[in-house]
Amino acid sequence: MFALLAIGPATGDITLSFNGNKGLLSAPLPVEYVSFNIDSSSLGYLFDFKDVRLRNLVKQITAPGAWLRIGGTASVGIAFTGVNGRRNGCPGHICINAEYWDEIADFVAYTGVRLLFDFSGKWYNAAGDWDPTLNVTSQLAYTQSKGYGKNWAWQMGNEGTGGHNGSTWGEFFNVLKKAIAQYPGIGQTLNGASSSVGGMSAQDFVRATKGNLDIYSFHHYGPDIKDFSMANIKKANPCSGPRSMVDSIAPGVLLALEESACAALGGHDGICNRFIDGYYWIHVLTAAAETGCHILHRQDVVGWSFTGLGSGYTLAGPPGWVNSSYGELNPHPDWFTMVLFKQLVGFMPLGNVSLSGDKSEIDNIDPHVWCGSKKGSVVFVYSNAHTSDIHLTSVSGLMLTPRTEYFLTAPSLTADEIYLNGKKMTVGNDAILPEYPIPGSVSTTTPLVLPKSSYGFVVFSGSVAACDK
């Protein structure tokens, strides 16, 4: 079904250069840079936050920090029903009673995530204004009373403006900010979900919320890898447009790519949750920050999408998994890639990465260079869409040896398994990795050989000024 570019043996030597952060971030990324979601629609299926495998899978992709956004289109139906309130059977709503909110809070505490919760944007009073006293303030009050939420964040609505213009929608967010401020002790961060507010309306939204909005979020899916194209993947610059818009009005506001996966509307089961998706995932993990985002959310960890179908882009599955009802919860290849990214890669991308050598080879390599997670290290993050190995003979300013290699491969592009340096990656019965930190393979040979049809990480020793900020 899929074929990467077949070019025969490598035709020459490839060299890599980078300029050490010129024109990119002026400060390190937040520790929550790589984050993830659970769609609100999953809560309508009595999603079990006590499941052991789910808790452990999330915990292992949280360190050193991550946001868990519970939100999405279905958030329009979220209703807090209080102590001993209804948990199901709420016509037109997804009920969250106090007991279920306790369960979510316990999940957050166990995994170490920071919760970003999406309130319904449909609590309108008789005057047509969004009114938190109709439901939201009772949930905030209960959160405060239990001592939850010291570093949590909040938003209301998902995409669009509920039929209002950007200025009015922004004023509704300001009302939420004032409501949150009435409950000291809980997180005061306000995240503005305004992804499908385009053009002037988006600008009006940012103007209206200036001074109150901490994070401006938007959603971006693709390029769709159903028709695989390394050229399309490499061209994806998901955050550059929103970054320019926000900076022109409210510089200093963080930017979040709040929903991202290889295709919208639940993705493609058998593609977006298979090895081939790693070519997209590696690119977005790096390109989001390189084009101006401070936070990146994967849609989703597990569960359902708003379409009512099991999500085909989750980090663990099978699609539509709820409480083991669809079989045992197992991580897909992108989960392992995400664990490695957070283990190896630091919080500063380095700039203007370029390759020189044979054009047919370079066109199908996606290169990125970042500071490493350990001081004195630099990480080459790559994908190689060739069906032949590629020889890398030099990396500017760095010694090629010794280095530590983390090469990811699979038996086929659509395999639901992934191999690290030739060994299949697995988790145990409790969904915990058998060894962490995950060990790589130390090499003292040259050249650096990037395996065919692979992606992964190469860690070099070396000092770069931008990495010492």
Please list the pLDDT of the chain residue by residue as tens digits (469 residues): 454 544 444 556 889 898 877 667 778 999 999 999 999 999 988 789 999 999 999 999 999 999 999 998 888 889 999 999 998 777 677 899 999 999 999 999 999 999 999 999 999 999 999 999 999 999 999 999 999 999 999 999 887 667 788 899 999 999 999 999 999 999 999 888 655 545 778 899 999 999 999 999 999 998 888 889 999 999 999 999 999 999 999 998 999 999 999 998 888 999 999 999 999 999 999 999 999 999 999 999 999 887 677 889 999 998 888 887 667 899 999 999 999 999 999 999 998 899 999 888 899 999 999 999 999 999 999 999 998 999 999 998 899 999 999 999 999 999 999 999 999 999 999 999 999 999 999 999 999 999 999 999 999 998 888 888 7
Residues with Cβ < 8 Å from 442, sequence gap 6 or more?
Answer: 402, 403, 404, 405
Q: How far is CA 83 from the centre of its chain?
A: 33
In this structure, the strands spanning 390-395 and 448-450 are antiparallel
How confident is the model at residue 12, as a pLDDT?
A: 62
In this structure, the strands spanning 78-82 and 94-97 are parallel
- Got the DSSP string for 444-462? --SSEEEPTTEEEEEEEE-
Domains of the chain in start order, with CATH, are 13-24+347-468 (2.60.40.1180), 34-346 (3.20.20.80)
How confident is the model at residue 302, as a pLDDT?
A: 94
Scanning 358-397, the segments in alpha helix (DSSP H) are 359-362
In 3-state terms, the chain is what percent helix, strand and coil (to 5)?
25, 25, 45
What's the DSSP call for residue 73? G
Residues with Cβ < 8 Å from 267, sequence gap 6 or more?
Answer: 261, 273, 305, 311, 312, 313
How confident is the model at residue 264, as a pLDDT?
A: 87
